[in-house]
Structure 1
């Protein structure tokens, strides 16, 4: 298990093939809770694990070949930290069993299970999951509510499930790239959205998602669509299922506006690409168009206003060292 800036990764490379499955099982048991695991051919098994403490939560991306993972009563006796695991199916499919219920997940779906009671996870094909570990006292559900939601598929295609699935998917990408910081604000946003998603199973959501959640999702959506010339407050509000007025208020609390945030992020991306020697073959206008500036003249004015130098002069300056 290697560790960098608080992030821990399981690297099977240095291990002999016959040792990799047991080492992966041990790494997973250490990162999560004590678990049993079995696979058809341990010598051929390939598994991955990347984890990070995120404020009051911990998150991990885990995956591998077909495997069955079991949390038995014996394993519970060996170590019971009292946590819930809220999981996003990223790739492949899985079956979660707990308390006599079964949840079959496809990519984008969500599920929660309680480590204080036995459960089974069956992965019949290569898979990947993003898992959030939440202490029982932080989840905010009653014992009855918690028992009612475990091992139930939460579709990631609509409502709060879609917003939660999108946010966790984005965090998973950051974790794999080593770009996730242990930010307590991110932990708070994740926890609030998970709570809202679970509570919506008992009653229709009567409130829009919290401001922290909307802000983080807004920033993510903007970064993912910077190349769209039509990106603006209306399109972002539609994607997040909130009103334009509410979204504007969220960004105003951060001391900015949607339009200003989009403008700055586009210029930052253009500046990075213009300074990248591997992109020297692309014209300034092509770089501008890629990041949402279809008109080269307006891009040139905006760039010079922001950085005090024209795009072409900046590129020449960087190229000259």
Structure 2
């Protein structure tokens, strides 16, 4: 077990085979809540965990070989911090059981379960999950809503589920690389999106989502389509099924416009790629075209205006050549 800048990491591969499963179980219990765990071949088990306190939330990536994890009445009595777990299936598959319901997850899918009541998690093969632990009082659901939504698969392929799946998947990648900063603002963004995703399960069809949710959906859509030269205000409004005026008002509240945000994100992507030695073989114009700037001269002007240097000069400063 190691800890760096508040991040906790455990890898059973560093231990003798006979000690790995029990050490992994102990690490999981310490990172989450007291749990029972069973695997067919403890001596051959490989598992790892990385966790971080993120404001009022705790996030963790956990994975390993086939295992069944159980939160029993006995383990609840041993320690009940009163949290919900909101989980993203990153790799492999899993089955979540709680309150007589079952949710079978594939990669990208989401589920929530309540640590105050018994549940089972069954992983039939190698897997990885990214888990957000949220204090009960911050979930934003009534007791009735909470009971209605646990152990239900939330598809990660459309709507708010897709947005949340994408965000948590990105956080999991950053966590593995040690790149997440324990910034309360990050916790707020995650919590807001989780709440919106859960509440959307109860929202009548056709109801307009909140401005915060529209903004997050728009930001994700823009990032996913930066390479499309036709990406603009109208395209984003159509994709989100909201009026142009409403969408413009959402971005105005954030102190920007959609066009400015698209330009900012495109330039940031170009700057990152121009500073990447692995992309040094790509011409400046090819990088610009990849991120939605088919005209090299307009890209050069926009880049110089944003960063005070031409794209070519920036690349030479960073990687030489």
State the TM-score, normalizing by the size of structure 2.
0.88
Corresponding position of 2:56: 56
Establish whether residue 39 from structure 1 lines up as the match of residue 42 from structure 2.
no
Is this contact kept in 2: 1:89–1:107, CA < 8 A?
A: yes
Q: Residue 223 of structure 2 aligns to a residue in which SS?
A: helix
Q: Structure 1 CA distance, aligned partners of 2:274 and 2:154?
A: 43
RMSD across aligned positions (CA): 2.6
Corresponding position of 2:4: 4
Is this contact kept in 2: 1:189–1:212, CA < 8 A?
A: no
Aligned length: 321
Greater shift after overlay, 171-180 or 81-90? 171-180
Q: CA deviation at 1:150?
A: 1.9
Is this contact kept in 2: 1:170–1:220, CA < 8 A?
A: no
Q: How does 1:148-167 map to 2 (within 5 A)?
A: 148-167=148-167
Q: CA deviation at 1:37?
A: 0.7
Change (3 A) 1:269 1:53: same
Describe the superposition over 1:269-306 as per-residue Cα deviations: whole angstroms up to 9, x where unpaired.
33343344443332221222222211212222222333
Corresponding position of 1:274: 274
Structure 1 runs (4+) deviating above 6 angstroms are: none
Change (3 A) 1:166 1:238: farther
Is this contact kept in 2: 1:289–1:295, CA < 8 A?
A: yes
Q: Structure 2 CA distance, aligned partners of 1:49 and 1:214?
A: 33
Q: CA deviation at 1:319?
A: 5.7
Establish whether residue 83 from structure 1 lines up as the match of residue 101 from structure 2.
no
Q: CA deviation at 1:32?
A: 0.6
Describe the superposition over 1:23-80 as per-residue Cα deviations: whole angstroms up to 9, x where unpaired.
1111111111011111111222221222222222212221211110011122111111
Q: Residue 68 of structure 2 aligns to a residue in which SS?
A: strand
Greater shift after overlay, 59-68 or 172-181? 172-181
Q: How does 1:264-303 map to 2 (within 5 A)?
A: 264-303=264-303
Q: Structure 2 CA distance, aligned partners of 1:258 and 1:39?
A: 51
Q: Residue 140 of structure 1 aligns to a residue in which SS?
A: coil
Greater shift after overlay, 148-157 or 70-79? 148-157
Q: CA deviation at 1:123?
A: 0.7
Is this contact kept in 1: 2:160–2:217, CA < 8 A?
A: no
Is this contact kept in 2: 1:284–1:311, CA < 8 A?
A: yes
In structure 1, stretches of 5+ residues that fail to align are: none
Change (3 A) 1:233 1:4: farther
Q: Structure 2 CA distance, aligned partners of 1:187 and 1:210?
A: 19
In structure 2, stretches of 5+ residues that fail to align are: none
Is this contact kept in 1: 2:13–2:46, CA < 8 A?
A: no
